[in-house]
């Protein structure tokens, strides 16, 4: 998601791309013949898949975000109060923090 008129960051672009892939996978899954009589069809399937992915995504990302938060405590991102990475002992942002924010 981006602010109107602002160029999306590479991370935002990656997340949008991942969302589109997840919706495509969910759409295919909801239409899977293996579901038998519970299989969904029609134009509303993609809308339902998008809603399901949007609802589930925060829960799926939570474990990863928790770990990334712990990484940022060890390797502070730029713009914070730390001037030196407490783990790497180099000026902020260290290589680890740079890898996470680009």
Residue closer to Zn ion (CB basis): 27 or 75: 75
Q: Does 31 bind Zn ion (CB under 5 A)?
A: no
Residue 71 CB, shortest distance to Zn ion, in Å, is 9
Number of residues that bind Zn ion (CB under 5 A): 6
Q: What is the largest CA-CA distance in the chain?
A: 60
Map the footprint of Zn ion across residues 51-90, applying CB under 5 A: 75, 85, 87-88
Decide: helix, strand or coil at residue 10.
Answer: helix
Decide: helix, strand or coil at residue 31.
Answer: coil
* Residue with nearest beta carbon to Zn ion: 94
Measure Cα distances from 10 to 29, 35, 44, 78, 102 in Å.
28, 37, 31, 17, 7
Residue 25 CB, shortest distance to Zn ion, in Å, is 35
Give Rg (Cα) of the chain. Answer: 19
Q: Among 40, 50, 82, 96, which residue interacts with Zn ion (rule: CB under 5 A)?
A: 96
Chain residues in the site for Zn ion (CB under 5 A): 75, 85, 87-88, 94, 96
């Amino acid at each position: 998601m981006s602010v109107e008129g602002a160029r999306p960051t590479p991370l935002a672009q990656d997340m949008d791309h991942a969302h589109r892939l997840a919706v495509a996978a969910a759409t295919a899954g909801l239409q899977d013949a293996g579901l038998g009589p519970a299989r969904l069809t029609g134009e509303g399937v993609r809308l339902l898949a998008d809603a399901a992915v949007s609802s589930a995504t925060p829960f799926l990302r939570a474990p990863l975000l928790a770990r990334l938060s712990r990484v940022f405590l060890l390797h502070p991102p730029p713009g914070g109060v730390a001037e030196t990475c407490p783990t790497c002992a180099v000026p902020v942002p260290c290589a680890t923090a740079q890898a996470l924010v680009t």
